[in-house]
Amino acid sequence: MEFWYNFAKGIVRTYLTFLVEGFDVQGKENLEPGPKIIVANHPNATDAFFLPFIFPEKLHFLIQEETFGIILIGRLLKLADQIPVVAGRGREALGEACEKLSQGHSVAIFPEGHLSHGKALRRAGSGAAILALQSGEPVVPVGFYVPPEFTRTMRLQMNSRGSKGRWQLGGRCSIQIGEPWKLDSNFHRDRSYGTLRKITEEIMIRIQNLVKMAENTV
The answer to whether the pTM exceeds 0.75 is yes
Contact 172, 20 (CB under 8 A): yes
Positions of the chain with pLDDT lower than 50, given as ranges: none
pLDDT at 159: 58
pLDDT at 161: 61
Q: 110 phi and psi, to 5 degrees? A: -100, 105
Tally of structural domains, the chain: 1
- What is d(CA 139, CA 136) in angstroms, rounded to the nearest whole number? 9
For residue 63, the domain's CATH number is: 3.40.1130.10
Return the beta strands (E) in 95-180 as ranges: 106-109, 139-145, 151-158, 161-168, 172-177
Range(s) of the domain holding residue 132: 2-216
Contact 124, 205 (CB under 8 A): no
pLDDT at 186: 75
CA angle 210, 212, 217 (to 5 degrees): 95
Contact 40, 132 (CB under 8 A): no
pLDDT at 81: 96
- What is d(CA 72, CA 98) in angstroms, rounded to the nearest whole number? 27
